[in-house]
Amino acid sequence: MPGGGYCKLPGGSVVVAISLPSPAGGGATVRFLVHAANRARALTRLRNLGFRAVYLRGNAEPPTPDEITAVLHHPDGLLWRPDQTAGAELWHPARALLRPARPA
C-alpha cells in the first residue's frame, strides 16, 4: 500500500507526497512530490504519468519542509527520487523518469 500525505500551503495550493512502486520494477519504491491547486489535481497529474490507481488515503506520511521547498522551487512542480536513498540522491523531474534510457 503506498504511503503518502499532503500539506496545504498558505496560498491555498497543496503539496502531495506519495510513495509508489517504481516503474522500473524490482520491488523498489519511488517518492513523488506534486505541487497543485488541490489534492485531486495533484493525483490527476500522477495518473497522467501512467500511475492509474493512485489514491491518497489519510495523511500518514506528509511532505517534510525540505520536500516542500524542493517542489516549490522546481518549475514543473513534479519531482521524484528513490525512497530508499532518501538523503543521498537528489530530486529528479518527472519527465526524466519517463525518458527512454540512452544507449551507452
pLDDT digits (tens, 9 = 90+) for 44-67: 998 888 888 888 888 889 999 999
pLDDT of the residue at 103: 61
Please compute the mean of the pLDDT values over residues 69-90 and round it to a whole number.
82
DSSP state of 24: T
Lowest mean pLDDT among 15-24, 64-73, 78-87: 78-87
pLDDT score of 98 more than 80? no
Confidence grade of residue 36 (pLDDT, cut at 50, 70, 90): very high
Please compute the mean of the pLDDT values over residues 70-75 and round it to a whole number.
91
